[in-house]
Structure 1
């Protein structure tokens, strides 16, 4: 049992050390780090209950848990508590992924004698197909993002159109779109490209239509007039306080965050009267882009490169969504009418 070890480092300190190791390796996105932190905090909070430790409301539960509290029976009890508390399979799987990661490192660095998480089974997550917007829904959202709305806070239409053009026209992940700099918009002779910085510090060039670049250029021209000159390495997407401008104060601009983006997208859905897919905000445009590529004749290999997926199986799920069009077309094949006309009626059953 891990309690036999003399350990004084708490899980908050160990988490910071583990994250530094991961950053120095393949790299780690801010979203992934946040998910790991939240997942491990949930385990530590439940471990504190299991060990009957007093954790003040304003204290991080990771600061009271040490490796001696992390052993198999305790983790099994915590996992059972998560299930009783009604957390979804997806949430519990995410928490277990965070726990597995740090326990493996704690074992490797001899802070634990063995990995106590290996016997915990991942919950089976129900298959959920990605939801893509219909052409009509996408059109309504474009109109909503392009139309002045008097109740909107800090509405910036040229920027909003550029955001929508990038997310629906290139399919980046939320963090990838927000990490774009001005120089990442490449205007080549053979066509425009966006240089996206993906997971694991893997960059990829995604070709985009001239209309996407036109939307970006319109926004940058307005941005320069409003905020002054920009440098190639400056963040592409900014936000600023429009209230200050109305009070004759100079605008204070700052890079957009994921929270700002998600709020903005949510407002587009509301104003467009489009039902937002459950759990989807900016990511729904990535799904819409992916399905559009396949329906437009793109191959699964091309889509994998565009989306930056390492595993073909991750990309392959979009083929099931795109196949719905094929199923519909199969019902209007010309041969069907001839088959109906020539079908022989069933033989009548003999009378008793």
Structure 2
């Protein structure tokens, strides 16, 4: 394979642009991270003759072979970029399969997801309640519905902003979501989230097909990201610590800490593979270690001398 073979195709460039927008809007990725991902993906597209989005497992095996002389850290970074890109393509319905299993895993440990403490979440909802008390206008009613659904259901940002107007019903304690690969799943929602959505929906034009309309379409992920960060800043939480995806992680982490079954959590999050859900067990273990070290009755005792 030669990098001079062919430039990235127009389809690859368009999908890479959409992927970068998602990373910025949902994950709050830093500019340097986005630039690195773009560079790696454009390079991979060039090496594959401008057909990265259509790559097969065999294509990725050959691509990985071209990395043979690279440092382990570089291979890890390139693999990570491609794994996330293909997961995005499946999530957005651009392809039905994910060939990324063919990519190498050069021993790099997967980082724990960023999350929020119970105190952080309480601060956000306290500020939200204050805003509604001060001014229960359209903007704050929408904000309430968005935040309640994000933390109260753990849905992805894309799933949230594209909800149909009638997705939430007064007499139905769950939402039917269409997630990755077009698969449907039932997601329970709390009474308070349902109440917040119903209050907001009264302000939505009856002809709107979406629960969170914006112009001729629905609220963008970028705008949702901005809304979430602005509220968190008012609650005293550093902007870089939060995004819609972090609220999804907080939902999962806090449920697991509360005793939720891992299989049930997999269903709620819409993970095809329970291995993806298992990352939250590491978050839970970290929490338990901190709990033992700070709360154990013997933590301040001097160990007996032999």
> What TM bracket, shorter-length normalisation?
0.5 to 0.7
The change in CA–CA distance for 1:119 and 1:308 in structure 2 (over 3 A counts) is closer
- 1:235 shift after superposition: 1.3
Residue in structure 1 matched with residue 42 of structure 2 by the alignment: 41
The change in CA–CA distance for 1:174 and 1:88 in structure 2 (over 3 A counts) is farther
Kindly indicate whether residue 73 of structure 2 is the aligned counterpart of residue 76 of structure 1.
no
Kindly indicate whether residue 9 of structure 2 is the aligned counterpart of residue 12 of structure 1.
yes
CA contact (8 A) 1:76 1:120 kept: no
In 2, the alpha carbon distance for the partners of 1:2 and 1:194 equals 49
- Matched residue SS, 1:184: coil
Kindly indicate whether residue 166 of structure 2 is the aligned counterpart of residue 203 of structure 1.
no
Q: How does 1:29-178 map to 2 (within 5 A)?
A: 31=19, 38=38, 40-43=41-44, 76=66, 80=70, 89-90=76-77, 93-95=80-82, 121-148=104-131, 156-178=139-161
Over the aligned positions, Cα root-mean-square deviation in angstroms equals 4.7
CA contact (8 A) 2:178 2:185 kept: yes
The change in CA–CA distance for 1:254 and 1:33 in structure 2 (over 3 A counts) is closer
The change in CA–CA distance for 1:88 and 1:185 in structure 2 (over 3 A counts) is farther
- 1:261 shift after superposition: 1.0
- 1:277 shift after superposition: 5.1
In 1, the alpha carbon distance for the partners of 2:268 and 2:8 equals 38
Residue in structure 1 matched with residue 246 of structure 2 by the alignment: 284
Residue in structure 2 matched with residue 349 of structure 1 by the alignment: none
Residue in structure 1 matched with residue 55 of structure 2 by the alignment: none
Residue in structure 2 matched with residue 235 of structure 1 by the alignment: 210
Kindly indicate whether residue 234 of structure 2 is the aligned counterpart of residue 271 of structure 1.
yes
In 2, the alpha carbon distance for the partners of 1:258 and 1:118 equals 28
Unaligned runs of 5+ in 2: 24-36, 52-61, 90-99
Residue in structure 2 matched with residue 220 of structure 1 by the alignment: 201
- Matched residue SS, 1:195: strand
In 2, the alpha carbon distance for the partners of 1:202 and 1:41 equals 30
Kindly indicate whether residue 166 of structure 2 is the aligned counterpart of residue 183 of structure 1.
yes
- Matched residue SS, 1:156: helix
In 2, the alpha carbon distance for the partners of 1:301 and 1:89 equals 29
- 1:143 shift after superposition: 3.7
Answer with 1 or 2: which has the greater Rg.
1
Q: TM-score, normalised by structure 2?
A: 0.67
In 2, the alpha carbon distance for the partners of 1:157 and 1:215 equals 10
In 2, the alpha carbon distance for the partners of 1:73 and 1:295 equals 41
Indicate the structure whose relative CO is greater, using CA pairs within 8 Å and at least 6 residues apart.
2
- 1:184 shift after superposition: 1.9
Give the aligned length. 264
Unaligned runs of 5+ in 1: 20-29, 48-60, 64-71, 103-116, 240-251, 347-352
Kindly indicate whether residue 282 of structure 2 is the aligned counterpart of residue 320 of structure 1.
yes
The change in CA–CA distance for 1:298 and 1:93 in structure 2 (over 3 A counts) is closer
In 2, the alpha carbon distance for the partners of 1:328 and 1:262 equals 30
Q: TM-score, normalised by structure 1?
A: 0.59
